């Protein structure tokens, strides 16, 4: 990619350099001037062309820095417009990146035209660069297309808590190539848009409410109705547990060393973790207060001593 771009750019600059020379100086090639020993004419040609090239280079730099200043102002204007019209911050960041890339592309083409390169040279430069870039960053092109699909399909918005590609976090922005998440422990995760758009996405923020499932294990022989009543009392007294749908508590399984009860309650999505932690703590305390044991895996081994003696 670097070789193609450099060679094409060198050809463009050389063409610009030669075209800036006087017409009579362009008639003879450099090889002819060297063969005939016309070194003064050759030196004069390069000095004239060099001065013209430096002048165009200074003009190009001036245009670039002026254009960059203008682009910042235009991008800021679009940013304020997006802030007012678009609520999704992920979409805002994506559109802002698109505006910046488009404006800088226009600026580069404008500079090439002003410097004096012909349209054919510009087309050749863009074509070779496009081919090289396409071969080198084909995966990134898939990520760009994935970002567009994410913004059109909108499986999540900025600020949503999602789980995808084996990671979970809060969506901060959708960029040109990557979607940025922030985890609970303040880590920043960048997920490529291509795999993200084609994979499974679990959005925990879409619905206003979520269900909390709490599993409690007690010893065999425990009072089933007492355990159910204790769990329901805990749920009904919690201020952040919703009463519609009503809390649910039943025995769900008989394990090897315990019987399992489940408590299911509904709460606002924003209160999910608070309710989960509170119910766990309060259930443990209630079981201890009422003398209900929480079992742990164990095995009882019976040795048949008399039978072994008879066998001997």
Identify the structural domains of the chain with CATH numbers, from first to last.
2-136 (no CATH), 156-203 (2.30.30.60), 209-289 (3.30.70.100)
Dist. CA 147–CA 177, nearest whole Å:
7
**Percent of the chain scored above 90 by pLDDT?**
33
Is the pLDDT higher at 38 or at 238?
238
Which residue, 122, 104, 102, is CA-closest to 64? Answer: 104
SS3 91: helix
Is the pLDDT higher at 110 or at 32?
110
Out of 59-63, 92-96, 212-216, 277-281, least confident range: 92-96
Dist. CA 259–CA 287, nearest whole Å:
14
Q: For strand 209-218 and strand 167-174, is the pairing parallel, antiparallel, or unpaired? A: unpaired
Provide the whole-model pTM. 0.57
Which residue, 279, 285, 296, 290, is CA-closest to 226? Answer: 290
Handedness of CA 25, 28, 31, 36 (dihedral sign): negative
**Percent of the chain scored above 70 by pLDDT?**
72
Task: Summarize pLDDT for 125-183 with one digit per residue, the tens.
Answer: 666 666 666 655 566 778 888 888 888 888 888 889 999 999 999 999 888 888 999 99
Confidence band for 12, pLDDT divided at 50, 70 and 90:
very low
* H helices present in 89-204, as ranges: 89-115, 119-136, 138-153, 193-198
């Amino acid at each position: 990619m670097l070789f193609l771009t450099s060679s094409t750019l060198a050809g463009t600059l050389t063409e610009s350099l030669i075209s800036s020379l006087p017409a009579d100086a362009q008639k003879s090639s450099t090889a002819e001037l060297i063969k005939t020993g016309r070194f003064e004419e050759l030196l004069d040609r390069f000095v004239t062309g060099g001065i013209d090239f430096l002048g165009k280079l200074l003009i190009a730099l001036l245009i670039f820095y002026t254009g960059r200043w203008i682009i910042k102002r235009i991008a800021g204007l679009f940013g304020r417009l997006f802030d007012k019209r678009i609520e999704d911050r992920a979409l805002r960041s994506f559109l802002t990146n698109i505006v910046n890339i488009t404006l800088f592309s226009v600026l580069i083409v404008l500079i090439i035209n002003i410097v004096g390169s012909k349209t054919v040279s510009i087309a050749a430069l863009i074509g070779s660069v496009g081919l090289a870039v396409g071969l080198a960053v084909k995966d990134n092109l898939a990520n760009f297309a994935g970002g567009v699909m994410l913004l059109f399909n909108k499986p999540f918005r900025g600020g949503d808590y999602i789980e995808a590609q084996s990671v979970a976090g809060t969506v901060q922005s959708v960029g040109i190539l990557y979607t940025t998440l922030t985890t609970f422990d303040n880590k920043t995760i960048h997920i490529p848009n291509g795999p993200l758009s084609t994979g499974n996405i679990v959005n925990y923020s879409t619905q206003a409410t979520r269900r909390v499932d709490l599993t409690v294990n007690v010893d065999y022989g425990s009072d089933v109705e007492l355990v159910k009543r204790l769990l329901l009392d805990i749920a009904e007294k919690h201020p952040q547990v919703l009463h519609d749908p009503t809390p649910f508590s039943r025995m769900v399984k008989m394990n090897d060393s315990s019987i399992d009860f489940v408590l299911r309650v509904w709460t606002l999505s924003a209160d999910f973790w608070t309710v989960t932690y509170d119910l766990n703590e309060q259930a443990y305390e209630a079981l201890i207060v009422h003398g209900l044991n929480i079992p742990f895996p164990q095995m009882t081994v019976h040795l048949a001593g008399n039978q072994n003696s008879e066998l001997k």
